């Protein structure tokens, strides 16, 4: 087993609150073993361009509470090509870097898996995405903060909905997964939640809203995952107009506010544990794996599993929404 002398860390894909806490943990754990750390600026793009910066203990001081990522993030068309990945590998070798830690989501890990297969380069991933859609971990870094952001926003919108006696369709992020919408919907008492994983019955929703009006309930909040089969909130509003219900629909798209902000206590804790786990996995000569957490225990999940398997919605959560709105 080769002795690690220097590792690199990068963030890729959409930013997620807690990424900085993960960077901090990687740096501090590596330094404890006298391993040097360099940060790769702007994800895989920086790997191709050789944009490396040394990271010392003081470099990561005072960043645990910051949203976003101090290493920045960007897409890289070059890294998607064999030629680009060859350049990236050459840059790592020329800078005497022995291993790589990547922080990101599904796309980040797919790139890391291909890179590891091509060059047998020790690479470990840390799940950082608000979508919480990665197989092999109960929670991803950023998900908890995004949930809290959504619930806080929905609580405020509900005040307006009640005052004006309106129905609000509130669109949340999640790509093609409904984890944010479903759990946030339960937490904020949404009257319904529309997610990609279950068929959306717009006629049934119309009937439910009509029943509410009959019982003098004049305002409601419906959460819509951006990847729902019926479309986003604006498309659903347009489709529901054909029912000519005796209710007034309004749309709010929460957008990128869900990705920003100071990470929650849990996301800081999760990022710290996974960051330490990533370095310890590399020290133990592990490669091509994601560091996840299941039942509060750190686990190692092969990249080919976390990128090829689909994380499923817990049907009990769907049932809870129905029970609470019976």
204-223 pLDDT, tens digit per residue, is 999 999 999 888 888 999 99
Cα 181-150-179 angle, rounded to 5 deg = 25
**C-alpha to C-alpha distances, 326 to 30, 181, 183, 191, 286, nearest whole angstrom:** 53, 19, 18, 9, 50
The residue among 127, 252, 131, 253 whose CA lies nearest residue 180 is 131
Asked if residue 26 is part of any domain, the answer here is: yes
pLDDT on residue 50 = 97
pLDDT on residue 193 = 96
> Quick one: 13 and 95 in the same domain?
yes
Asked if residue 315 is part of any domain, the answer here is: no
> Quick one: 88 and 126 in the same domain?
yes
Asked if residue 193 is part of any domain, the answer here is: yes
User: What's the CATH code of the domain at 205?
Assistant: 3.40.50.460
- At 292 the three-state DSSP class reads strand
277-311 pLDDT, tens digit per residue, is 999 999 999 999 999 999 999 999 999 999 888 89
**C-alpha to C-alpha distances, 50 to 3, 53, 85, 99, 119, nearest whole angstrom:** 23, 9, 12, 15, 17
> Quick one: 233 and 286 in the same domain?
no
- How many domains does the chain contain in total? 2
> Quick one: 253 and 282 in the same domain?
no
Q: Any residues with CB less than 8 A from the CB of 308 and at least 6 apart, and which? A: none
- Cβ contact 252:169 at 8 Å: yes
User: What's the CATH code of the domain at 30?
Assistant: 3.40.50.450
pLDDT on residue 1 = 54
> Quick one: 135 and 184 in the same domain?
no
245-269 pLDDT, tens digit per residue, is 889 999 999 999 999 999 999 999 9
Asked if residue 239 is part of any domain, the answer here is: yes
**Domain span holding position 11:** 6-142+263-308
> Quick one: 222 and 300 in the same domain?
no
Q: Which two tokens stand for residue 39?
A: 């940060």
> Quick one: 17 and 109 in the same domain?
yes
Q: Which two tokens stand for residue 91?
A: 């840059």
Report the distance separating Cα 103 and Cα 101, nearest Å.
7
> Quick one: 248 and 148 in the same domain?
yes
Asked if residue 314 is part of any domain, the answer here is: no
> Quick one: 109 and 96 in the same domain?
yes
Beta strand extents in the chain (DSSP E only) = 6-11, 36-40, 52-55, 99-104, 123-127, 167-172, 192-194, 220-225, 249-253, 289-294, 297-302
> Quick one: 89 and 162 in the same domain?
no
- Provide the annotated active-site residues: 131
Higher pLDDT, 71 or 229: 71
Asked if residue 77 is part of any domain, the answer here is: yes
The residue among 136, 126, 76 whose CA lies nearest residue 105 is 126
Q: Any residues with CB less than 8 A from the CB of 86 and at least 6 apart, and which? A: none
Q: At what angle do helices 143-164 and 179-187 cross, to 10 degrees?
A: 50
> Quick one: 193 and 207 in the same domain?
yes
Report the distance separating Cα 247 and Cα 16, nearest Å.
36
> Quick one: 287 and 165 in the same domain?
no
- Cβ contact 64:268 at 8 Å: yes
Expressed in angstroms, the distance from the first to the final Cα of the chain is: 59
Report the distance separating Cα 183 and Cα 167, nearest Å.
20
Asked if residue 322 is part of any domain, the answer here is: no
pLDDT on residue 228 = 84
Q: 0.85 cut: is pTM over it? A: yes
Asked if residue 324 is part of any domain, the answer here is: no
Alpha-carbon radius of gyration of the chain: 22
pLDDT on residue 245 = 85
Q: What's the DSSP call for residue 195?
A: -
Please state the rounded mean pLDDT for residues 56-72. Answer: 98
């Amino acid at each position: 087993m080769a002795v690690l002398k220097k590792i690199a860390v990068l963030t890729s894909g959409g930013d997620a609150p807690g990424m900085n806490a993960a960077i901090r943990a990687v740096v501090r754990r590596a330094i404890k073993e006298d391993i040097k750390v360099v940060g790769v600026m702007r994800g895989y793009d920086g790997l191709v361009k050789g944009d490396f910066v040394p990271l010392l203990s003081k470099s990561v001081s005072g960043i645990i509470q910051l949203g976003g990522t101090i290493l920045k993030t960007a897409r890289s068309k070059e890294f998607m090509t064999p030629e680009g990945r060859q350049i990236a590998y050459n840059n790592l070798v020329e800078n005497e870097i022995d291993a790589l830690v990547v922080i990101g989501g599904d796309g980040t890990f797919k790139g890391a898996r291909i890179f590891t297969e091509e060059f047998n380069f020790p690479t470990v991933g840390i799940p950082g995405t608000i979508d919480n859609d990665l197989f092999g971990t109960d929670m991803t870094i950023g998900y908890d903060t995004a949930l809290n952001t959504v619930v806080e926003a929905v609580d405020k919108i509900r005040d307006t909905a009640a005052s004006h006696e309106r129905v609000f369709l509130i669109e949340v992020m999640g790509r093609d997964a409904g984890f944010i919408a479903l759990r946030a919907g339960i937490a904020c008492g949404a009257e319904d939640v529309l997610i990609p994983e279950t068929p959306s019955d717009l006629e049934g929703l119309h009937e439910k809203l009509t029943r509410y009006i009959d019982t003098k309930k004049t305002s409601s909040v419906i959460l819509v995952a951006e990847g729902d089969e019926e479309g986003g909130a604006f498309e659903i509003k347009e489709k529901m107009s054909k029912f000519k219900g005796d209710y007034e629909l309004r749309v709010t798209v929460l957008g990128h506010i869900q990705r920003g902000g100071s990470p929650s206590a849990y996301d800081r804790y999760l990022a710290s544990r996974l960051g330490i786990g990533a370095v310890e996995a590399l020290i133990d000569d592990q490669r091509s794996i994601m560091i996840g957490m299941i039942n509060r225990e750190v686990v190692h999940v092969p990249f080919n599993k976390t990128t090829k398997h689909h994380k499923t919605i817990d049907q009990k959560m769907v049932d809870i929404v129905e029970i609470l709105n019976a």
